[in-house]
Amino acid sequence: MVAVTLGLVAVGCTNREPGDATPAGETPMTSSATSAAPEKSRPREVKLDGIDPCKVLTAEQMKELAVVEAERNDGDIVKAGDEPVCAYDNNDSPRVTYEVGLVTSKGIEYWRGTGNVAVERIEVGGYPAVQLTFKGTSTVDCGVSVDVAEGQQLYVDFSSIGQTPSQEQMCDNAKKAAELALVTLPTLA
């Protein structure tokens, strides 16, 4: 499961092609974007160095997300070597997994110019963030990357096996988990 998810790590939440209309308040980032800096500044910097990704969601937060298990499974999210990753799982069917990655080697600007990945600017918990999807897909999973510190990002991926939620539902789940993680992260730094 984790190998498949990490293989799909750049999956996100929209199917917009360049030139498609964008809802008010959203600014799409595309692989042809020239500015690497987020449009909005982060409310505070949260360094991820040395944090255990399996402590990012508390027992209460896990219950809110309907997951019961946290298993460390480091992976190569941004093609820079293994980063700390934890898979939070419901251990049931249909299977629901939130993968939380703490990327300390590259910020969210990494996602610009990554080939067949559609990147859309969003905001999560007051932080600049992006949603990621392979162009042309609609229901694989959803990835959200949050700009938490210079050259670092909180990456949350939501996937489901045995049910097919809409792309919007998957993205809402990924954003919710990222928001919860942003509450806990400052207490761990």
pLDDT tens digits for range 2-39: 333 333 333 333 333 333 333 333 334 433 333 344 46
Q: What is the pLDDT of residue 116?
A: 72
Q: Is the CA virtual torsion 47, 122, 177, 89 positive or negative? A: negative
For residue 102, pLDDT beyond 50: yes
| Predicted confidence (pLDDT) per residue in 52-67, tens digit | 999 999 999 999 999 9
Summarize the confidence of residues 92-116 as an average pLDDT: 89
Q: What is the pLDDT of residue 163?
A: 82
Q: Which domains does the chain have, with CATH numbers?
A: 2-14+38-188 (3.40.1000)
Provide the residue type at 79 as one letter: K
Q: What is the pLDDT of residue 166?
A: 84
| Predicted confidence (pLDDT) per residue in 120-162, tens digit | 999 999 999 999 876 776 667 789 999 999 999 999 999 988 8
What CA–CA distance (Å, rounded) separates 13 from 94?
20
Summarize the confidence of residues 90-101 as an average pLDDT: 92
- When mean pLDDT is compared across 87-91, 103-107, 111-115, the lowest value belongs to 111-115
